[in-house]
Amino acid sequence: MLGCQSGMFGNGPVTLSEGLNKLLSEHIPLREGLERLFSLCKTVKEGQGASFADLVQEVKDFASDLDHHSEREENILFRMMEVYLGKNGGPIAVMEYEHEKAHGFINVFLKNVQSSSSEYSDEEKIQNAGLIENAYHTLISHFGKEEQVLYPMAERMFTDEEKEIVKQRVSE
């Protein structure tokens, strides 16, 4: 039914507009980066020769890419969806909470490795690798929610003009 809010929550397949598809496509390299981080964490925790310094550098690189993606989701997509969904509770609040949670794990890791000497005990390496594993699990689940629920919801609720705004702003 046209105009019925339940229409924006439909379960049928949806083709994403260009701007939403750009955000979606960014999940591919982010997922690949997460898989590399998870693998490095595992080898660090098992003491199988992975350099903790390699993990630190990979996390720094990944954090920069994640920040760029998250900022555009939060400042563009989420703000535009709030017009329809409100600011309190609901899917946007969940998405923002998960952003904060994942960034929190990464930021604690980065703070720990910035403020410590270059020599880390095995226990410190394992604890810090655990932070990145937590970020991994949070983000893998989060990306799935965005891909299966949030992006299709935005596609269904946005007007053509709003979709064009998303496209222009995420391409800046």
pLDDT tens, N- to C-terminus, the chain (172 residues): 333 344 445 556 889 999 999 999 999 999 999 999 999 999 998 887 668 989 999 999 999 999 999 999 999 999 999 999 988 888 999 999 999 999 999 999 999 998 656 688 889 999 999 999 999 999 999 999 999 999 999 999 999 999 999 999 999 8
What's residue 139's pLDDT?
98
Cβ pair 108, 59 in contact under 8 A: no
Classify residue 17 by its DSSP letter.
P
Output the six-digit token pair for 123: 């226990």
The whole-angstrom separation of Cα 172 and Cα 167 is 9
User: The whole model's pTM is what?
Assistant: 0.89
Quote helix, strand, coil % in the chain, to nearest 5. Answer: 80, 0, 20
Please enumerate in sequence order all residues whose Cβ is within 8 A of that of 106, keeping only pairs 6 or more positions apart, or say none: 59, 62, 63, 66, 131, 132, 135
Output the six-digit token pair for 161: 């003009």
What's residue 7's pLDDT?
45
What's residue 64's pLDDT?
96
Buried b (16+ CB within 10 A) or exposed e, 14-41: eebbebbbebeebbeebeebbeebbebb
Please enumerate in sequence order all residues whose Cβ is within 8 A of that of 17, keeping only pairs 6 or more positions apart, or say none: 155, 158, 163, 166, 167
Domain at 17-170, CATH homologous superfamily: nmb1532 protein domain like (1.20.120.520)
